[in-house]
Structure 1
Amino acid sequence: MAKKQAPAAEGAAAEGKGKGKLKLIIIIVVALLLVIGASVGATWFLLGKKSAEPEHAAPAAPAAPVHLAAVYQALVPAFVVNYNAEGRQRYMQVTVTLMGRDQGQMDALKAQLPQVRNQLVMLFSGQDFNSLLTPVGKEMLRQQATSKVQELAKKLTGQTAIEQVLFTNLVLQ
């Protein structure tokens, strides 16, 4: 009987040592977390306090440019162009709106609208019907129209004047 109790006593002693090591590991981990937290808090406090001192701060950089509200100019009436595709007569109707950010530039371009309309008619009439059936083809046409109008505006007024050409209606037949 004495032999049976001796191994049990050794197991209890080993189990007590395992619990002691586990407690020690937990205490070390908690202490490490507290030190890291204190370090982060102190850094945040000191950096926040440093930026609040205006007397030692360097001169402020100019603020980022503020985007002005969008200004829209609809080109009325809608563009209707025809072209041959695969031996058939095809038609395209496009309602176009110009988007800019400066009303003065848009007004300067408004005086040149006949030339803008001519440029867009020439662009629209030279398109391939099959490519315009896909969303990618329509987006490419819109980007081409934007670049053509920006080039023309730069040539006529000295400024690009518009940011985008928007299609508010596009019908293919």
Structure 2
Amino acid sequence: MAENNESEAAPAKKGKLKLIIMLVVVVILAIVLSVVGTLWFLGGGLPGMGEEEGDATEVAEETFIPSSYYQMEKAIVTTVQAEGRQRYAQAYLALESTDPQALEAAKLHMPLIRSQLVTVLGSSNFNELQTPEGRSGLAERMLTTVNQVLEQEGEPAIKRVLFRNFVVQ
């Protein structure tokens, strides 16, 4: 009888091993199919499958061009009128551009640009300069002024005027 128990236990272990292997294969197959299906539905398709020559002529994405900056070392300082009193405004600025030639031109024409920026800052309203909207409006007016100076000189325009430090008192 002992021999009968051993012979029945061996085939049962072999059957369980086959079942485990088949389950592992089925799970791996399901994972692979889900990944392939996801790629196909998202429009990427699979590399080398179903691609035609017409797909190669798609519009190329724009390349990323990093910005360059020029930090004005001296602050723009001027007085601002506020309800009959004189107040001071000080701004440390940086110029941003994707064209290095624009920054070189700004360095070259910096005396004229500084003069115009002092005028723009001095003509601002003190109460507006204390709000975020007023400061962003000032930055836009300064950008317009800098680009007008550069345009008059036949130079490329800059992208933005940035405040590194801004104080009104």
**TM-score, scaled to structure 1:** 0.65
Match status 1:116 vs 2:135: no
In 1: Cα distance, 2:112 partner to 2:148 partner:
12
C-alpha displacement at 1:132, in angstroms? Answer: 1.0
* 1:148 equivalent in structure 2: 145
Q: 1:52 to 1:98 in 2, by over 3 A?
A: farther
CA deviation vs aligned residue, 1:47-68 (integer Å, no higher than 9, x gap): 8269855653255245233232
CA deviation vs aligned residue, 1:30-61 (integer Å, no higher than 9, x gap): xxxxxxxxxxx5xx379826985565325524
Q: 1:141 to 1:111 in 2, by over 3 A?
A: same
Structure (1 or 2) with the larger CA radius of gyration: 1
2:94 is aligned, of 88, 92, 97, to 97
Question: 2:60 aligns to what SS in structure 1?
Answer: coil
Unaligned 5+ segments in structure 1 are 1-40
Q: 1:150 to 1:172 in 2, by over 3 A?
A: same
CA deviation vs aligned residue, 1:76-121 (integer Å, no higher than 9, x gap): 2101101322111110010010011122231122111111111111
Match status 1:86 vs 2:83: yes
Q: Could you list the structure 1 runs, at least 4 aligned residues long, displaced by more than 3 angstroms after superposition.
A: 44-47, 49-55
Q: 1:104 to 1:62 in 2, by over 3 A?
A: farther
Q: 1:58 to 1:139 in 2, by over 3 A?
A: same
Unaligned 5+ segments in structure 2 are 1-36
Question: 2:62 aligns to what SS in structure 1?
Answer: coil
Q: 1:50 to 1:151 in 2, by over 3 A?
A: same
Percent identity of paired positions between Structure 1 and Structure 2: 32
In 2: Cα distance, 1:135 partner to 1:129 partner:
12
Amino acid at match of 2:165: N
**TM-score, scaled to structure 2:** 0.67
Contact 2:92 2:165 in 1 (8 A): yes
Match status 1:168 vs 2:167: no
RMSD: 2.9
C-alpha displacement at 1:158, in angstroms? Answer: 3.8
* 1:137 equivalent in structure 2: 134
Contact 1:108 1:157 in 2 (8 A): no
Q: 1:78 to 1:58 in 2, by over 3 A?
A: same
Contact 1:68 1:102 in 2 (8 A): no
* 2:70 equivalent in structure 1: 73
In 1: Cα distance, 2:112 partner to 2:98 partner:
21
